[in-house]
Chain A
Amino acid sequence: MELQHAVERLHARYAHALDADQLEEWPGFFTENGVYRITTAENEARGLPLPVLYAEGRAMLRDRIASLRHANIYEPQRYRHLISCCLVESKDGKTATSMANFLVIRVMENGETLLFACGRYVDRVALSPEPRYEERVVICDSRRFDTLLAIPL
């Protein structure tokens, strides 16, 4: 139960940081070499490697946020993450694997609210000194993305 709680708490902190526009905290949820990849269930099922977004290590994660803050043009928007059905396992007590469902609702500045993405987080979590993602694979159920995917899922 402690393990379950620790990993679920990581997921929750991650979601709250993104939803509260604390994007600078995002790389800190990963280990130094942590990998983040968004893909689709279709590509995953076909064994196709194409990511929608891909970062290896915190430097690339920080570049993504810096680019969103300083370079990219997109309309102001927020996400609301709902995460559920989290299954956690650990064989050695050092790393855990986790699978959880996610639903991300996107709210535009004018109030337009859209079910933006749903799918699974498939994670490998390093448990000490505190839980962090060694790898987070975001597998979107749909192949379709509305307009643009700026903020990480």
Chain B
Amino acid sequence: MLQRSWPAEGVTRVPYWVYQDESVYREEQEKIFRGATWNYLCLEAELPEPQSFLTTFVGDMPVVVTRDAQGALHAWENRCAHRGALICMQARGKAERFACIYHNWTYDHAGNLATVAFRRGIAGKGGMPADAKPESQAPKKLRVGSVHGLVFGTLSDKVASLEDYIGPEILPRIKRVMKKPVKLLGIYTQVLPNNWKLYMDNVKDTYHASLLHLFFTKFRINRLTQKGGVFVSRDGAHHCTYTEMVEDQGDAYEKDGMRSAGSSLNQFQLEAPEVLEQVDELGDGVAIQILSMFPGFVLHQIRNSLAARQVVPKGIDRTELHWTLFGFEDDDEAMQRRRLLQANLVGPAGYISMEDGAATGFVQRGVAGSPDRASVIEMGGSTIGSGDSRITETAVRGLWQTWRRHMSL
């Protein structure tokens, strides 16, 4: 058990040991990632055909996701029942069955142990006893759910259905983006030098975007003075923030001398602003929507850039962010080109996203000497809920309320 105490202020404080403690990390694996949560696995479009598969992670646990010959989705732990080796080494592909390379034990698409090599020995010699039960150590199977083309899995038989887990505040905002069959554009991984929660915290922090990202503010893509809002699920676990396309003509950032307004660099204008040109393809005048689900999933629409981000913890101070960018199957050439140009906004080289990697790493380093000090998270008071202001940390408080509930802290 963790011998840690939470600051008396409660939901408006987050102590820094949560990002530093190995035992916290281990407990998170069990209580959160392998606990009563739904974890993002992939897009359905990444398993286009019967018998296709890919490998991914739920927390530290390696997972195989498959579509069987009948088209049903499965997910199971990528660990052989025999000695624990990875069953599937490839990132993706098609297979009729899965054979562990170590001793050639094989599995079907649902993760059932199908055959044990030389189980009965040869010519009456060797092999396993008749009453041996290697199946007792079979890979764990995940319950799989899919909403609007997004595939999730859980090891918990207690957690609610995927739709109920997401809840009525957030589910329509997923549907809004995933409105048509999607086409995969590509993937890459950004390695972040910080705890996974610092990244989720950053995503849920509607207050930072226009202050950290000069690109947002200077080019009036996303200012807190623009019309927008935030939805938070009833339990605080998930959030969705949006900004409308109508540009702010005000000068609140300039008056207050914010770095991000670039007031000292009035000469800085884009020579090729077409990188930012948006077509209102979703038809509701929203320029940006950032959506997150506990514990580690993000869905974004930034103008015409669409992506799923999977947050994969790799130790207390290292996180992999698996980006999957997509468009729609019916994109024409102009839309595809627009999406590829707008890919410049996100990912490791993204005009916007590169800075999130920097900022969260700065926190990890900044707090090294202060495990018992805490973040001050009081923008918007101490409540957790939806609203029409983004000058709030309401969704961040929701993250920590949820995290503490799972961790019994």
Contacts and interface: CB of A to CB of B under 8 A. Distances in A.
A and B from one complex: yes
Given A63-B275, A72-B215, A148-B354, A143 B185 contact: no
A90 interface: no
Q: Majority SS of interface residues in chain A?
A: mixed
B272 interface: yes
Nearest to B184: A48
Contacts of A73: 212, 214, 355, 358-359
B228 interface: no
A67 B215 CA distance: 8
Given A148-B358, A150-B354, A143 B188 contact: yes
Contacts of B171: none
A83 interface: no
Nearest to B193: A147
B191 A146 contact: yes
Contacts of B325: 50
A142 B185 CA distance: 17
**Chain A CB within 10 A, most for which of B187, B191, B272:** B272
Nearest to A153: B349
B348 interface: yes
Nearest to A74: B358
Contacts of A54: 340-341, 343-344
Interface string A111-153: 0000000000000000000000000000000011111111000
A144 B189 contact: yes
B355 A145 contact: no
Nearest to A48: B186
A51 B354 contact: no
B347 interface: yes
A58 to B, nearest CB: 9
A38 B275 contact: no
B89 to A, nearest CB: 15
Interface string B203-220: 000000000101100100
Interface in A30-76: 38-40, 42-43, 46, 48-57, 59-60, 62-64, 66-67, 70-75
A46 B351 CA distance: 26
A117 B192 CA distance: 16
Contacts of A39: 186
Interface in B172-203: 184-193
A42 B209 CA distance: 31
Contact of A63 (B214, B271, B354): B271
A70 B349 contact: no
Nearest to B355: A73
B192 A50 contact: no
A67 B184 CA distance: 28
A122 to B, nearest CB: 17
A89 to B, nearest CB: 28
B271 A145 contact: no
Nearest to B190: A145
Nearest to B324: A50
Given A71-B214, A144-B191, A52 B265 contact: no
B383 interface: no
Contacts of B190: 144-145, 147-148
Given A59-B272, A63-B275, A149 B348 contact: yes
Nearest to B216: A71
Contacts of B187: 42-43, 48, 50, 143
8 contacts: A48-B185, A48-B186, A50-B325, A52-B188, A71-B262, A74-B358, A143-B187, A143-B189
Interface of A: 38-40, 42-43, 46, 48-57, 59-60, 62-64, 66-67, 70-75, 143-150
Interface of B: 91, 184-193, 212, 214-215, 218, 262, 265, 268, 270-272, 275, 320, 325, 336, 340-341, 343-344, 347-349, 351, 354-355, 357-359, 361
Given A43-B186, A145-B347, 5 more contacts: A50-B187, A71-B351, A72-B215, A73-B358, A73-B359
Nearest first, the 3 A-B pairs at minimum CB distance are A50-B186, A145-B348, A148-B354
